[in-house]
Amino acid sequence: MIDLSKTYQPEEHEEPLYRWWEEQGYFKPETLVELGLASREGPRFCITMPPPNVTGILHLGHAITAAVEDLITRYHRMRGYETLYLPGSDHAGIATQNVVERELAKEGLTRHDIGRQDFVARAWAWKEETQARITAQHRKLGISCDWERERFTLDGQLSHAVRVAFVTLFNRDLIYRGPYLVNWCPRCESAISDLEVEPEEHDSYLWHIRYPIVDESWEGPAHPWGSGRWAEGATTFIQMATTRPETILGDTAVAIHPEDDRWNHLAGETAVLPAVNRPIAVIADEAVRPEFGTGAVKVTPAHDPTDYEIGMRHGLDRINVLTEAGEMNDNAGPYAGLDRTAAREQIVAGFESEGLLVKVEDYHHAVGHCQRCNTVVEPLISTQWFVRVKPLAKLAMEAVERGEMRIVPARFEKVFFHWMENIRDWCISRQLWWGHRIPVWTCETCNHVWSAVEDPRVCTACGGHVIHQDEDVLDTWFSSGLWPFSTLGWPDDTASDLERFFPNDVRETGYDILFFWVARETMLSLALTGQVPYHTVYLHGLIRNEHGEKISKSMPDAWKYDPLYIIEEYGTDALRYTLTTSSTPGNDMNLDPRRLEGARNFANKIWQATRFILMNLEATPSVLAAIDWQELQLPDRWILSRLQRVTQSATRLIEEFQYGEAGRQIRDFVWDEFCDWYIEATKIRLYDDDTDQATPGAVLMAVLEQAMRLLHPFMPFVTEAIWQALPQSARAGEALIVASWPEVEARWVDQTAEDEMDVVMALIGGIRAVRSEYNVEAGKRVAATIAAGDLAAILDDNRDLLTFLARLDPHQTQIAATSVPPPQSAPVVVGEVVAYLPLAGMVDVAAERARLEKELDGLAARIAASEARLAGPFAEKAPENIVQQERERLSEMRREAAQISEQLAQLAHL
């Protein structure tokens, strides 16, 4: 046995234990087979880590993913599965490119100054540095990955998989190139995905404008824009509201709702677009929201997603008025060359001077920003590469409907189907240098376009030598969408890991990327392998601070939510336990520091409990199997039965993906039942040299050992450290990480013992409450008269336990079926059992009366002050929630006063 320090010090154990686990090969599935802990013919389990971006450090979102995934992994490893937890990281195209560009800017350089080849080399150097840091942080979190299988999305094998996937889909006509509306970042000068667009609240304006309608009295402008007379002679106008005046110049229609009586008489008429004199139609479309603005809306198909769809339905032109850098192009007429912000100001001024600006209203709304550089994103028509996803989405929905892939919690299946049913073609090209370059070549001689896995030297159609590869790179989600199978050797090495571990078992991730990533993995897996990527999708919620606010880098106390800071302050086990038990599937959690403190205290509690057990047992304690059943007392039978119950319940909950509830039940058993009740109960025998100590010693060790196995997936370090401190004879194996998961032993299930112990504990708890109420000294023994009915014999058999834990005087404690209540006593009622505690011998009456009177006087003063406050202006002027808090405070003080008055009345008769 190893001597344990007085308190658990995480920093002394975590790194050495992790290093030892890794050196022993416990993270590798092959080692489990070699040690006979798993079988090649037996069950297998695989999780592929959602690859974090190589752009910096891990945050709490990564930490909860790692904690939950490692919990699942450790559980299956202990269940005898050939288990693989495969780690890796993502090249994160636009995110990494922006970081490297910022580093270049510090040198006064741009990527264009150094060229594509040197820029990519710099990005690789950045990747090497940050990937090493991320790997170290994951190790700090204690995750049991097979690091020899670590992958990166730009690795040679994974890059080959990306090309095979692209060529396969290209040849099936599922990938095409064409103009489409995309999210465009003018700063990055690239299309970006929906996930990379972050809405930010803005205080802006709603400009109400009007366009003239062509009629018999006005056929169009006779004066130039800016003259103040542009709309002179027009008598009919259609009025609308916009938040983006700069896009007015791309309008190709005005739309109204067909049932809007305010405007439907103008349907089919022609308006003239100010500034550029473009005739545009007034059209009716049900997509228009009559309640927004005036009920009429400008339609700009090249710069708005809804307008794009309206334009498709009505065959409208798509006129782009912005350059890729966010400036107005030649289609902007007199505003060409202006920055979009300056153009907005001048267009509004022009409308005002021409009498076409009706009014301006304050308007608060969300505006999309580039996640990487915070630039306002523009919807923009751009020629890009796309995946036709409708047929792939159909495959994914059918797989979920057939039950081949389940989503936990199930309510997110509706979200999944809604997204899939309304999915648009996926833009997969990015105007970047860092990433998988699109494997498409064009021949300058014959204009032939083709895709290939290997770089071609000549045109496949005419044999020409002047060929060029597409300059764009693929969306990061394309390569990460192949992650469940590309990391296992697809498409070439299919006889080893792919055959053994694909499909994966679980995809654990946040619900916020169910569509962006899980949907893509599912569609690509079904299209390329014919199988779902995994059988279960487990979704966790977002982590917020203790006030329920979203955690962001801009918070003044953001540092305290850094996982590494939390680990340093509380220990890895405290962080992992808090993250895995503080929420339910699919729901957000608030990270309260008090929970972290509680988890740290829990680790220390079981450490000190172990220390007590080891200090009070023989060097080689008896094993439970050698103990005679007849030697077991009620607390022994009770704790062994409760151990079976919690083992059964925790196993069922983990299998049902209710990890939080499983962890909470294990904690309640270990702390509340084992430490606070059973260990205390054993002290009667452990401290008495004349009694049998082998039985409680064997039970203590058996329960501790099995409890550590139950707790290990939640708190791996402290449980392994305790396990290593146990005698060799008391633990099932050399390492807890590969010990077997506990099985329920039916012979120890004893409902009678549980029922009887419940009565004993409730009675002790009631007596303790009375002692506390009357401020009885902790060490003072008090008398008791107990009327126990049919339970008298049971309580009498456990008299020593009752008197020891309730601090009763054994010589003045009477237990019988019926008893006459002594005068002036405090009753404790537990079902049919009533214990009477005589007050005269329990308290110093004069001192207690003086204490209670002083406390009552103080309460009376506070009650009077509160009543006066509520009767005055405070009740009318203060916020309702503050007033309600004061009312509740007054009610509580009155309750306390009534209780004290009752106690004084009882003391008055002594």
DSSP 8-state assignment for residue 370: E
* pLDDT at residue 612 is higher than 70: yes
**Does residue 138 have a pLDDT over 90?**
yes
Question: Which one is predicted more confidently, 455 or 196?
Answer: 455
Residue 82: strand, helix, or coil: strand
Q: pLDDT tens-digit profile of 212-250?
A: 999 988 999 999 999 999 999 999 999 999 999 999 999
pLDDT at 910: 58
Mean pLDDT of 842-868: 82
**CA torsion through residues 397, 400, 405, 410, sign:** positive
Mean pLDDT confidence for 89-94: 90
pLDDT, average across residues 484-496: 88
Q: Is the pLDDT of residue 516 over 90?
A: no
CA distance 29 to 86: 11
b/e sequence 233-250, b meaning 16+ C-beta within 10 Å: ebeebbbbbbebbbbbbb
pLDDT recorded at residue 838:
85
Region of poorest pLDDT, from 273-277, 517-521, 890-894: 890-894
Which pLDDT does position 621 carry in this prediction?
Answer: 65
Task: For residue 860, give every residue at least 6 positions away whose Cβ sits within 8 Å of its Cβ, in sequence order, or none.
Answer: 897
Does the pLDDT at position 537 exceed 70?
Answer: yes
Alpha-carbon span 358 to 20, nearest angstrom? 74
Give dist(CA 600, CA 594) in Å, integer: 10
Distance CA 343, CA 363 (A): 20
Q: What is the pLDDT of residue 876?
A: 83
Quote the Cα angle for 22-27-32, to 5°.
115
Overall average pLDDT of the 31-50 stretch: 92
State the pLDDT at residue 554.
60
Looking up tokens 């205290």, which residue turns up?
601
Q: pLDDT digits over 776-798, tens only?
A: 888 889 999 999 999 999 999 99
pLDDT band at 319 (very low <50, low <70, confident <90, very high): very high
pLDDT of residue 200: 87
- Report, as an integer, the average pLDDT of 839-864: 80
What residues contact 111, with CB distance under 8 A and at least 6 apart?
97, 100, 101, 104, 119, 433
Confidence (pLDDT) at 381: 87
Per-residue pLDDT at 703: 95
pLDDT of residue 558: 67
At 383 the three-state DSSP class reads strand
- Segment 142-151, tens digit of pLDDT: 999 999 999 9
Bond prior to 43 in cis (omega within 30° of 0): no
pLDDT of residue 839: 78
Residue 555 predicted with pLDDT over 80: no
Name which residue leads in pLDDT, 908 or 401. Answer: 401
- Stated length of the chain: 910
Q: What is the pLDDT of residue 620?
A: 61
Tell whether the model's pLDDT for residue 596 goes beyond 60.
yes
Q: Name the strands in the sheet holding 449-451, side by side, starting at the edge strand that comes first in the sequence.
A: 449-451, 440-443, 467-469
Mean pLDDT for all residues in the chain: 91
Residues 6 or more apart whose CB falls under 8 angstroms from that of 258 comprise 264, 267, 284, 285, 286
The span from the CA of 348 to the CA of 330, in Å, is: 19
What is the predicted pLDDT for the residue at 909?
64
Is residue 1 over pLDDT 60? no
pLDDT at 157 over 60: yes
Looking at residue 566, its pLDDT comes to 93
- Scan for tokens 């009919």, then name that residue: 236
Q: What is the pLDDT of residue 899?
A: 75
pLDDT digits (tens, 9 = 90+) for 113-134: 999 999 999 999 999 988 988 9
- CA 129 from chain centre, in angstroms, equals 27
Q: Could you tell me the two tokens for 227?
A: 């003259």
Assign 705 a pLDDT band (cuts: 50, 70, 90). very high
C-alpha 451/C-alpha 172 separation (Å) is 12
Residue 295 has pLDDT above 70, yes or no: yes
Instruction: Measure the CA–CA gap between 582 and 663, rounded to whole angstroms.
Output: 9
Give me the pLDDT at residue 341, please.
92
Residue-level pLDDT at 202: 85
pLDDT of residue 622: 65
Residue 159, pLDDT > 60, answer yes
Measured CA angle at 730 (ends 724, 736), to 5 deg = 40
The tens digit of pLDDT for each residue in 190-207 reads 888 777 888 888 889 999
Contacts 24+ apart (CB under 8 A), 742-748: 742/647, 742/651, 742/706, 742/709, 742/710, 743/647, 744/644, 744/647, 744/648, 744/651, 745/644, 746/644, 748/637, 748/640, 748/641, 748/643, 748/644
Query: Mean per-residue pLDDT for 308-319?
Result: 93
pLDDT band at 756 (very low <50, low <70, confident <90, very high): very high
pLDDT attached to residue 173: 97
Report d(CA 578, CA 593) in Å as an integer.
10
Cα dihedral 103/106/109/114 (nearest 10) = -40
Is the distance from CB of 517 to CB of 50 less than 8 angstroms? yes
481 against 870, higher pLDDT: 481
**Bridge-based pairing state of the strands 88-89 and 449-451:** unpaired
* The pLDDT of residue 83: 97
What is the C-alpha to C-alpha distance for residues 235 and 695, in angstroms, rounded to an integer?
102
Question: Measured between alpha carbons, how far is 662 from 884 in angstroms, rounded to an integer?
Answer: 37
Q: What is the pTM of this model?
A: 0.85
